[in-house]
Amino acid sequence: MSKTIEDLKAAFAGESQANRKYLAYAAQADKDGFPQVAKLFRAAAEAETIHAHAHLRLMGGLRSTKENLEDAIAGETHEFTKMYPAMIEDAQAEGHAQALRYFTFANAVEEVHANLYKKALAAMDKLPATSYHVCSVCGYTCEDHAPDKCPVCQAGAKAFFEVK
């Protein structure tokens, strides 16, 4: 692999992390009573997304929607069959209860994502219009309407938000 392609991959990873970190920092700044600092974090986060998307495109990471769905299925499947199961074992071995809880949530939700993507890939242009709802506690994602109780973390329907 060329050094520039390696650099693009590293830059994509770094900028992607910076985006999510700055959004978390913005929420913390709002909570701490610093709305202007929060706004600055959100502005920088937007800029990091622009960088990340350019790096992803330039390293050849954006293909057709069919190929992107296949890539997403592979990524989610790796997470729920290999990555999270190993991390769950580590957290169990070290008695890190909170990490164990969230690894377990994420593990369950990545399988749900893989299945939603598989369904989308199978139907593509005939995919029926539906709404998507996400649990704000564990990330559980579902179609049509929020359940009364989240099947992954047991949170109530109020924990769900609809994604536009």
Nearer to Fe ion among residue 31 and residue 158 (C-beta): 158
Task: Return the SS3 of 34.
Answer: coil
CA distance 163 to 133: 6
The set of residues, in sequence order, having a beta carbon less than 8 Å from that of 105 and lying 6+ positions away, is 137, 138, 139, 140, 152, 153
Does position 73 interact with Fe ion (CB under 5 A)? The reply is no
Total number of residues that touch Fe ion (CB under 5 A): 11
Does position 44 interact with Fe ion (CB under 5 A)? The reply is no
Residue among 103, 140, 142, 160 that touches Fe ion (CB under 5 A)? 140
**What is the nearest approach in angstroms of Fe ion to the Cβ of residue 114?**
8
CA distance 61 to 100: 31
Question: What residues pair up with 161 in beta bridges, in sequence order?
Answer: 134
Nearer to Fe ion among residue 115 and residue 130 (C-beta): 115
CA distance 136 to 96: 22
**x/- map, 116-135, Fe ion, by CB under 5 A:** -------------------x
Binding site for Fe ion (CB under 5 A): 76, 110, 113, 135, 137-138, 140, 150, 152-153, 155
